[in-house]
Amino acid sequence: MTAAKQILIVEDEPLIAMMLEDFLDILDQGVAGSTDSVATALERVGQGGIDAAILDVNLRGGEKSTPVAEALAAAGVPFVFATGGGDDSVDERFRDRPVLQKPFTMDGVAKALAAL
């Protein structure tokens, strides 16, 4: 097993974010932080130390996580999108990225991270 990665979670539903944190813990992965908005996520990305990220496509208030995806891509940090909708909700520039379908399963999270 490789060393634990530090994974950023961008998810606006606290219960889902906690579930993802639990899954990552069971999968021997670290949590680099859990944020619920584009502003806080961008601030956390700017601090560095992130190996990968799970981005909820649609955040509260109609906010999309696309700016976070752009910042991660610019920093060379791999990420997966999490969505309950179809792939069309993902910005077309990032449709080649792995997508984690809601509702999450442990297996789904493990496979999405393995795809990075």
Q: What is the pLDDT of residue 2?
A: 56
Per-residue pLDDT tens for 26-67? 999 999 999 999 999 999 999 999 999 999 999 999 999 999
Taking the C-alpha atoms of residue 71 and residue 40, their distance in angstroms, rounded to an integer, is 13
- Using the structure block, give the residue that is written with the tokens 């579930």: 19
Strands (E), 27-112: 30-35, 52-56, 79-83, 99-101
Taking the C-alpha atoms of residue 29 and residue 58, their distance in angstroms, rounded to an integer, is 24
Instruction: Answer for the pair 57, 98: CB distance below 8 angstroms, yes or no.
Output: no
